[in-house]
Amino acid sequence: MIVSTTFAKMDVAVFGLARSGVASVKSLVEGGARVFAWDDKEENRAAAKKEGAIIQPFAEWPWTRIKALMLSPGVPLTHPVPHDVVVAAKNADALGSLEHDENWVKVKKPAVLPWTDDYSNMLAILRWRI
């Protein structure tokens, strides 16, 4: 397992707590992040709590302090419609200082959208700033 120290001493959120979500929680917690997490299934919430996550419905998360949101595969980002957690994260207030963080760069929409699998996305997030 890769221990992610990128978000040490920061609040992050994980939505969807199946295998990849719980593995992300474990990596982030062991790296020093405070992780807020939620899943519809009680057994998944229990597994994430065992790894050190703070289990709360996303409507109760401290959005102004959260520096990153990790979505599990299958949570709709845009299609057919964004999940409510995505809408909450895109709220301008929820972005906090992230918009001005030098590690994040706004990019223009490419003419052709690249394809990637979910594991590549997860590893890119966990290795950010390393």
Report, as an integer, the average pLDDT of 78-92: 77
Please indicate, yes or no, if residue 2 is contained in any of the structural domains: no
Please indicate, yes or no, if residue 51 is contained in any of the structural domains: yes
Residue pair 85/15 in contact by the 8 Å Cβ criterion: yes
Report, as an integer, the average pLDDT of 105-110: 54
- At residue 68 the predicted structure's pLDDT band, cuts being 50, 70 and 90, is confident
- pLDDT for residue 17 is more than 90: yes
Q: Write down the pLDDT at residue 92.
A: 46
- At residue 106 the predicted structure's pLDDT band, cuts being 50, 70 and 90, is low
How many structural domains does the chain have?
Answer: 1
Instruction: Give the global pTM.
Output: 0.70
Please indicate, yes or no, if residue 20 is contained in any of the structural domains: yes
Q: 70 to each of 23, 110, 111, 112, 122, how far by Cα in Å?
A: 11, 23, 25, 24, 8
Please indicate, yes or no, if residue 4 is contained in any of the structural domains: no
CATH number at residue 92: 3.40.50.720
Most confident option among 61-65, 80-84, 119-123, 126-130: 61-65
CA separation for the pair 1, 110 (Å, rounded): 33
Domain range for 52: 11-127
CA separation for the pair 107, 68 (Å, rounded): 17
Please indicate, yes or no, if residue 19 is contained in any of the structural domains: yes
Residue type, 21: G
- pLDDT for residue 114 is more than 80: no
Q: Write down the pLDDT at residue 74.
A: 82
Please indicate, yes or no, if residue 5 is contained in any of the structural domains: no
Strands (E), 23-129: 34-38, 54-55, 66-71
Please indicate, yes or no, if residue 3 is contained in any of the structural domains: no
Please indicate, yes or no, if residue 45 is contained in any of the structural domains: yes
Phi-psi region of 66 (alpha: psi -120 to 50; beta: other; left: phi over 0): beta
CA separation for the pair 52, 33 (Å, rounded): 10
